[in-house]
Structure 1
Amino acid sequence: MLTRSRGFLLPLSAAVVAAVMAVPTAGAADAPAPDPAGTTAAEVPAGRTEPAPRTEPAAQAEPAPQAVPLPEADVSHHGHVALRDDRLAVRFRTANRGPADIAASTVRLRFSEPPAARQRLPEGCLWGGASVVLCATGELRSGGRARWTALDLRLAGRPAEVVVRVDTVWNGGVRDTDPRNDAHTVLAPSTGDAYAF
């Protein structure tokens, strides 16, 4: 590009044009850069700081519920089994040695030889399978009177012996302090004698 000045043509080089273009305008160099939040330092009054961003209060965790200890009791079953020919007699008592009372409990009796079909059970007992009988004992007070259960069953055959297993399947939801005395296995030969447990 050429221009006339006082009768002379002065060449303006590209370098001069670039230098003029690079000079900032007044006040442009002093402008503060915007912060990430979109405000500038010029927008905050002198002597004051920008307030911290608001945060929601942390939720307080609820305390974990404490486990309630189970009451303790000691259920026990003791009795005898006798077999003669096809007749099986089972007699036992259920007691509670405490310290807590038991509202109800259920005893299970399992037989190695199946009883004959269509025979009645005493009140409080029912069939739990072909060779299983369940009997309710009712309330058992700590140190109170024992509950007696008596079964007289006819077997499907005439075995030389029978195995009877006795245990507790429900004890009122208490923790049994000695479960060994309420689970028994008795072998009774066909002699008519009473075999204790």
Structure 2
Amino acid sequence: MAMRRGGLTVVGAAAGVLALGTAGTAWAGNADLEMHGSAVLVGDLVEVGVTPRNHGPDTVTGASVRLTSSAALADTQHLPGGCARTGDREVVCDTGPLAVEVPGERLVVPVRLRDRPEEMTLKVDVVWGGGAVDQDRTNDEQRVLVLATGDPYAF
């Protein structure tokens, strides 16, 4: 199921899988998607910056990235358009279109945590690739340990 937020479509992992298997869905080509960025933890706020990239060979009309925290999220979130909370520790965001070998629009996602952890682990992974077949799934997931130092930790 797709959700509309801020004019963008956010697609969860299950919806992406269903869309791929739907009769009449056009083949969207091949793409190699990856996400890189950084995370900063201060108090109960972790600010995540993600830059999506498509190594091709085909363009992608849109993809979704999932941010999974080892720390529980606060009940109230003020997420940017195109992002939605999908679980106790998860947020999914739409990347928008991704051209080949051109960095996508940088996503900046402030996420409130329930507590003030001294550290947390953040997993960033591609959960839907716009219907394209990703021939190299080895770069679809990144993990980073983020300490509550106010310093950026890269992934």
Q: TM-score, normalised by structure 2?
A: 0.77
Identity across aligned pairs (percent)? Answer: 38
Rounded Cα–Cα distance in structure 2 between residues aligned with 1:175 and 1:88? 32
**Pairwise mapping of residues 1-197 of structure 1 onto structure 2 (< 5 A)?**
71-197=29-155
Larger radius of gyration: 1
Question: Does the CA contact (< 8 Å) of 2:28 and 2:130 recur in 1?
Answer: no
Instruction: State the 4+ residue runs in structure 1 displaced beyond 4 angstroms.
Output: none
d(CA) in 2 for partners of 1:80, 1:171: 21
For residues 182 and 147 of structure 1, what CA distance do their matches in structure 2 show?
17
With normalisation by structure 1, the TM-score equals 0.62
Bigger proportion of residues as strand:
2
Q: What CA distance in whole angstroms lies between the structure 1 residues aligned with 2:111 and 2:73?
A: 7
* Unaligned runs of at least 5 residues, structure 1: 1-68
Long gaps (5+) in structure 2: 1-26
Report the CA distance between 1:165 and its aligned residue.
0.6
Whether the aligned pair in 2 keeps the contact of 1:95 and 1:147 (CA below 8 Å) is no
Aligned to 1:43: none
Say whether the 8 Å CA contact 2:53–2:103 is kept in structure 1.
yes
Distance in 1 separating the partners of 2:42 and 2:60:
36
Alpha-carbon RMSD: 1.8
